[in-house]
Structure 1
């Protein structure tokens, strides 16, 4: 067949042939459309920063992106968010400032084998700010909650290790002075509390070292001071023949110790005294004042450090006068003598009543 004959056959009834071809294409196109489905996924936008530049701003508005997948309905049913990954690569820019970074997609291999397949990201690029990377170590500041038991207090809190590595944009890292930790509760504690905790990072622009930190909360008895007024001062070791003249002496005392011990302390347990063992004769003396308290407590201060004493001899006891005693004895003797004489009766005297006497008989002569 010559070329002329071939062209004649093609051009024969060409309007009909063109119409059939167009209709076939349309039928194929509509068939493909009828078998392809669409599904939209929302995935987090990751930031890849392996170079000298790191993200410094703009990410808050573009945390997530939409990924639209077109494929056959039976194939699309097996696709999920974990098969799709969206990210931006900051290494494409080397200068600080704001730049538009294209959104790149990373798909599972089985997704790439689908046919037909159409994938788009919305938005397809995002404006982000970048800065130079900075690294430094900052201190750990443990967080504590709760109140220790009555009579105890939080004395000190430490962390081991005491520092952590912080990395991020220079303008942000330069302002960080410490990193907080998870809370350690000391509620109703009466002894030290130790707990393993992690660092709390509330800034998405920085990254911190991983691992746990051992936090120790030191719990100690709570201190307290209390004032006792008008504590009497006693004069110890004073000679029996000496005495201190004047009114009784009192002292005000401030006692220091643990709260639970101070709360149980009464004024009767606080004693003020002066040592008079060196005083041998009457006179005026300046003596130091001593205060004693129960074991475990200390005297913070007292209102008197010294005391002025006037020491005198004790007056002798008055004895009865000896002459007066003798006169009294003589008078008592006089008063008792007549009574003794009256009580004495002679042995040869007998009292016989006159009427009872027997008359003597008379003899007459014949």
Structure 2
């Protein structure tokens, strides 16, 4: 019996040696895949920031295909602001055998169907830009979020106004009553970023010693046209009493500017309120450069796009994430916001082209 066992071992060793001689020894080590397929569903492809984020994502994919020596296939779908449509899009991704899904939720409070489908099929999900409820993200260890801290964006928007008031308070406070009269254009009623931005911007202004008076606020669903209509109503009711326009994103700030122009109001310190946005979109930064918008808060589209792709690659290939994108609580990648005003616009524009 001992002799037979010895012969068997020799036989196995001979086969392995022969395979090694044929240059096939690496077949005994699992090789990295040479391609990766990512399914992406966005809540609305016509959202300016989301459109820019996707453009950055596609550009970064082209860069990293060369660096990583792999082929990356993207399946990008528009959910058209319909959660049921988005749920079915994940079904299609799963049927197509994607390695990972990136989901920009239509309804941040209704992620259950996405999560259960992904869990059942063992397809990791990276949620991005529209942050889901924390408890939902913790329902499975292959769920992640890439975005930014909404609290920071509201605080920085407030800082833009505070900084301006410190040097040009009389320019902002046109009626010289010592109070900043403002209107606010908000995103969706239940959207996490909208709620937090609306709260923290006012908190930041008042904590820095300035008194504010809310004339009105309206939900404009991140949309430029809706914001223009809301601003038109504000102007009809309050006219030149409006000293500050606080918008939850650049598109709504631009909608307010559209309404000001339509009303025939000249862009001057005498009758043009201070307009502030958030996102730092291309058109938003152009409005800052023209002096139509006092400032915006840069939401790093390229940083979020690169973070999403780096995480997708790490999860699919089993590699370590670069230090720049280390996960917070094993779940989150958050990119910092940055103030964008005329004073640092050149620096911002240079960074955006890198």
Name the TM-score, length of structure 1 as normaliser. Answer: 0.21
Instruction: Give the helix-richer structure, 1 or 2.
Output: 2
Name the TM-score, length of structure 2 as normaliser. Answer: 0.22
